[in-house]
Chains A and B, each alone.
Chain A
Amino acid sequence: MRLNRDKIIVFLLDNLIWVLLTIAVVTFALLSDRFLTSKNLVNILVHSSVLGIMVIGQSFCQLSGNFDLSAESILGLAAILGAFVIAPAGAPFFGSGLQLNPILTVLIMFVLGILVGWINGFLVTRMKMNNFIVTLAMLIIIRGLTLVFSEGKTITGIPQGFKALGHESLGPLPISVIVLLIAFAVAFVITRYTRFGRDLYAIGGNRDAALASGIDPNRRIRQVYLISGLMAAFAAWMELGRLGVGATRIGEGMIFEIQAAAVIGGISLFGGRGNMIGALGGVLLLSTFNSGLNLMMVSGFWIDMIRGIIILLAMLIDAQKTRYKAPVTSQAAVVASESQGL
Chain B
Amino acid sequence: MTKINRVIPFLLNNLIWFLLIGIMIFFTLTAENFLTPGNFLNILFNASVLGVMVIGQSFTLLTGNFDLSAESILGLCGLMGIWLITSAGAPYYGSGGELPVWVSILIILSIGVLIGLINGFLITKMKVNNFVVTLAMLITIRGLTLVINNGQTSYSISEAYNWLGLGKIAQVPVPVIVVLVLFALTYIITTYTPFGREIFAIGANRNAAMASGVRPDRRIIQVYMISGLLAAFAGWMLSARLTNAMSSMGKGMIFEVMAAAVIGGISLKGGQGSLIGALGGVLLLTTIGAGLNLMNVSVFWIQVIRGVIILVAMIVEAQKVRYMAPSVNASQKPILASRQPSGD
**Which residues of chain A have a CB within 8 Å of any CB of chain B?**
123, 127-130, 132-134, 136-145, 147-148, 208, 253, 256, 259, 269, 299-305, 307-309, 311-312, 315-316, 318-319
Contact = CB atoms under 8 A, between A and B. Distances in A.
A312 B126 CA distance: 11
20 contacts: A127-B315, A127-B318, A129-B314, A130-B268, A133-B314, A134-B314, A137-B314, A140-B303, A144-B301, A144-B305, A148-B301, A259-B135, A299-B147, A301-B144, A301-B147, A305-B144, A309-B136, A312-B136, A319-B128, A319-B132
Nearest to A133: B314
Contacts of B315: 123, 127, 129
Q: Which of A142, A269, A305, A309 has the most CB of B within 10 A?
A: A305
A96 B136 CA distance: 41
A190 B307 CA distance: 34
B122 to A, nearest CB: 8
B306 A256 contact: no
B336 to A, nearest CB: 13
A301 B76 CA distance: 13
B128 A300 contact: no
Contact of B255 (A136, A299, A302, A318): A136
Nearest to B310: A137
Contacts of B176: none
- Which 6 A/B pairs are nearest by Cβ-Cβ distance? A304-B143, A141-B307, A144-B303, A315-B132, A301-B147, A140-B307
- The A contact surface, by secondary structure, is helix
Interface of B: 122, 126-129, 131-133, 135-140, 142-144, 146-147, 252, 255, 258-259, 262, 268, 298-308, 310-311, 314-315, 318, 338
A146 to B, nearest CB: 8
Contacts of A133: 262, 268, 310-311, 314
A289 to B, nearest CB: 13
A138 B135 contact: no
B319 to A, nearest CB: 9
Contacts of A305: 140, 143-144
A308 B314 contact: no
Contacts of B137: 308
B147 A144 contact: no
Nearest to A270: B129
Contacts of A141: 303-304, 307-308, 311
B86 to A, nearest CB: 21
Nearest to A128: B318
A308 B142 CA distance: 10
B132 A311 contact: yes
Contact of B143 (A147, A259, A308, A311): A308
A144 B307 CA distance: 8
Contacts of B146: 300-301, 304
A269 B310 CA distance: 23
A140 B143 contact: no
A69 to B, nearest CB: 9
Contacts of B310: 133, 136-137, 140
